[in-house]
Amino acid sequence: MMTPDYAALATAARAARERAYAPYSHFAVGAAALTASGRLFVGCNIENAAFPVTCCAERVALFAAYAEGEREIVALAVAADTRGPVSPCGSCRQVIFELAPHATIILANMGEEITVAFPHELLPGGFTPDDLPQ
């Protein structure tokens, strides 16, 4: 398995953040998903006046990778203008847990701060397809 370049992925997430559509929260977030084939998929948060249909940057990046047939996510970087490294929301943690279960998760802010985590650390005891009735 390849070792992701944490700084480069954080930089890609920071750049993706610039394309965010966040007129309500004014909280722009960017994400970059690296696949095992070496492809990079970026995402930004896209808000909507009907708040429940807003989509977070992490999900945009992961869904883009999956839509292109990529199923093995090696790393996912997330960046926002926060005091310390940004943390994914609960919904994103669940999606990361299922779609990128073995990925390295790079959490960053707009400075140089980076924290590395793994899906099982972000969502201990996460819900899996095995929890559904057979």
By residue range, what is the domain housing residue 48?
A: 6-124
98 given a catalytic annotation:
no
Query: How many domains, in total, are found in the chain?
Result: 1
pLDDT value at residue 2: 67
pLDDT value at residue 4: 86
Given 47, 58, 68, 70, the catalytic residue = 58
- Domain-embedded: residue 1: no
Among the listed residues 78, 133, 127, the one whose alpha carbon sits nearest the alpha carbon of residue 99: 127
pLDDT value at residue 1: 57
Instruction: Say if strands 29-35 and 104-108 run parallel, antiparallel, or are unpaired.
Output: unpaired
Q: Are 105 and 117 in contact (CB under 8 A)?
A: yes
- Domain-embedded: residue 27: yes
3-state secondary structure 42-82: EEECECCCCHHHCECHHHHHHHHHHHCCCCCEEEEEEEECC
Q: What is the pLDDT of residues 65-104, one digit of tens each?
A: 999 999 999 999 999 999 999 999 999 999 999 999 999 9
Supply the CATH number for residue 43's domain.
Answer: 3.40.140.10
Calculate Rg over the CA atoms of the chain. Answer: 14
Residue ranges in the chain whose pLDDT is less than 50: none
pLDDT value at residue 35: 97
- Domain-embedded: residue 129: no
